[in-house]
Structure 1
Amino acid sequence: MSLQIEMEHHRKTLIVRLKGELDHHTADTVKAQLEREILKGNVTHIVLSMKELTFMDSSGIGVVLGRYKQITSRGGKMVVCDVSPAVYRLFEMSGLFKILHFQDNEHEALSSLEVVS
């Protein structure tokens, strides 16, 4: 299965919805698209929705961590939401729960960033 990326701007927040598999086959594409969107737009924060992400491997962890570093170096925040049990376990094993902020859904993620309308 491939990966679909949907991006939406909400104030200064880039909402990214991933659907499918984030693995070594798709990681470079996701990284490039997110970097391009962050650099071209007026993006301060990122909400990364994984509601329809069915699989993620260590390459996906690298993409997430890299975008986290990119956005925090600009003074922003990243919130991950709608994490499936399998992907949750990967975040847990990698120790990213100590670094990243997690919320149950997009609305809560936007609220935590104080950008909800």
Structure 2
Amino acid sequence: MSFSVEVEQKQNILCVRLHGELDHHSASELRAIVDRHLEEHNTKHIVLNAEGLTFMDSSGIGVILGRYKKLQPRGGRLIVCGVSAPVYRLFEMAGLFKVLSLEEQESHALQALGEAV
């Protein structure tokens, strides 16, 4: 299966919607897209919508943690939403929920960051 990324800037929040398989081949694409938006826009927070994500390996974890670290100097947060059971288990085993927030839906994540939905 292929991989695609959809991004939408809402004020200072970058909404990133993932579809397909996030593996070592697609991780560099995701990194480049998100980093470009972080540089070009006034992005403080990221909402990562994993609703369409069917698979993720350790490369995906690395990209997500790297973007989290880029938000820290800005005082920002990275919130993950729409996580399937297998991806949730991977996040949990990697300890990501110790640093990232989890919301059920994108609209809840935006509300948590103060964005009117």
Q: TM-score range by the shorter chain?
A: over 0.9
Q: Displacement, 1:116?
A: 2.1
1 CA distance for matches of 2:116 and 2:19?
Answer: 23
Q: Which runs of 5+ in 1 are unaligned?
A: none
Aligned to 1:24: 24
Aligned to 2:113: 113
Residue aligning to 1:73: 73
CA distance in structure 2 between the aligned counterparts of 1:68 and 1:29, rounded to whole angstroms:
17
Q: Does structure 2 conserve the Cα–Cα contact (< 8 Å) formed by 1:46 and 1:78? A: yes
- Within 2, Cα distance between the matches of 1:12 and 1:98? 23
Paired amino acid for 1:54: T
Letter of the 2:93 counterpart: M
Give the alignment's TM-score, normalised by structure 1: 0.97
Query: Which string of whole-angstrom CA distances, capped at 9 and with x for unpartnered residues, describes residues 14-39 of structure 1?
Result: 00000000001110111011001111
* Map of 2:33 onto structure 1: 33
1:52-91 superposed matches below 5 A:
52-91=52-91
Match of 2:100 in 1: 100
Runs ≥4 residues deviating over 2 A: none
What residue ranges of structure 2 are gaps of 5+ in the alignment? none
Q: For the aligned residues, what is the CA RMSD?
A: 0.8
- Richer in helix (by share): 2
Q: Identity across aligned pairs (percent)?
A: 52
Scaled by the length of structure 2, the TM-score of the pair is: 0.97
